Structure 1
Amino acid sequence: MKTIQCMMEHMYWADGRILEALEESGTKDKDLLKLVRHVAVAEQVWLSRLQGKGSMQYVLWEEAANLTEIRTMFEDNAKQYRVYMEGLKESELDEMVDYTNQSGVPFQTSVRDILLQVLLHGQYHRGQINRALRLESAEPVQIDYITFARL
């Protein structure tokens, strides 16, 4: 449980670092903003499923109005995940969650695997965002777990 909690704290930190790098870059790339919004919405989708709610109200791939909107999404996500994690017991990590994906297909996945999906999905896309920043001649930001752990 401690490892997942540390990884979640890393996720909140890394989301914030990516947003700072995007703000500093001044990017207007709509595809890049769409990608970072996708990360925030995917976090919402999985949390909704963990809470036993539906997720069909979320649109995973949609243009973002601006980084301020996305920052608010990430901040809300962090608050809600922290509350969820505080109430989660280690014995519940292997409980199965029934949900329907965005295409309407039913699935059953453990809480542990859902949390790992959220963590790894975000890190994958943050790497893509950093690469896009480099292609725009902007400075990518360090988001490795070890950097976070050294703080």
Structure 2
Amino acid sequence: MKTIKCMMDHLYWADGRILDALEKSKTKNKDLLKLVRHVAVAETVWLSRLQGQGSTQYLLWEEAEGLMKIRTMFEENAEQYRVYIEGLEESKLDEMIDYANLSGIPFRTSIRDILLQVILHGQYHRGQINRLLRIESAEPVQVDYITFVKR
């Protein structure tokens, strides 16, 4: 649990740093904003599955309504993940969760693998966001795990 908690703390930190970099860049790039929104919505989707709720109401690839709305989504996700993880016992990590993907296809995945998916999915897309920031001549932000633990 200690490792997962630390990796989730890194996720909250890295999400915030990416949002700060996007605000600083003043980007209007719709694809870039759509990508960061996708990360926030994907975190919400997986959280709803962990909580035993449906997720088919979410749309992963919609245009963003603005960075403030996205920041609110990330903050709400972080708060709810913290509550979820705080109540999670290590012995439950390998418990299986039944859910349907956004197309309605049923799946069964362990809590551990879902949490790792959330962690790795966000890191993958933060790398893409940093690349797009660089293409726009904006300053990318350091979001590596080692930077997080050294701060």
> What's the TM-score, normalizing by structure 2?
0.99
Query: What's the offset of the Cα at 1:30?
Result: 0.4
**Residue of structure 1 in register with 2:99 after alignment:** 99
| Distance in 1 (alpha carbons) for counterparts of 2:128 and 2:72 | 21
The superposition leaves residues 75-105 of structure 1 with CA deviations (integer Å, 9 ceiling, x where unpaired) of 0000000000000000000000000000110
Matches within 5 A, 1:69-148: 69-148=69-148
- 1:64 alignment counterpart: 64
TM-score (norm 1): 0.99
Q: Tell me which amino acid in the other structure corresponds to 1:27.
A: T
Displacement of 1:65 after TM fit? 1.0
1:56 match: secondary structure: coil
Q: What are the superposed Cα offsets for residues 97-151 of structure 1, whole Å, 9 maximum, x if unpaired?
A: 0000001100000000000000000000000000000000001000000000012
Q: Give the structure 2 partner of residue 149 of structure 1.
A: 149
Cα RMSD over matched residues?
Answer: 0.4
In 1, distance between residues paired with 2:128 and 2:103? 25
Matched letter for residue 121 of structure 1: H
Give the 3-state SS of the residue equivalent to 2:11 in structure 1: helix
Name the SS for the 1:76 alignment partner: helix
Q: Residue 98 of structure 2 aligns to a residue in which SS?
A: strand
Measure, in 2, the Cα distance between the counterparts of 1:110 and 1:56: 19
Cα distance in 2 between the residues matched to 1:65 and 1:55: 20
Ranges in structure 1 where 5+ consecutive residues have no aligned partner: none
The residue that corresponds to 1:39 in the other structure is 39
Match of 2:27 in 1: 27
Structure 1 residue 29 displacement after superposition:
0.3
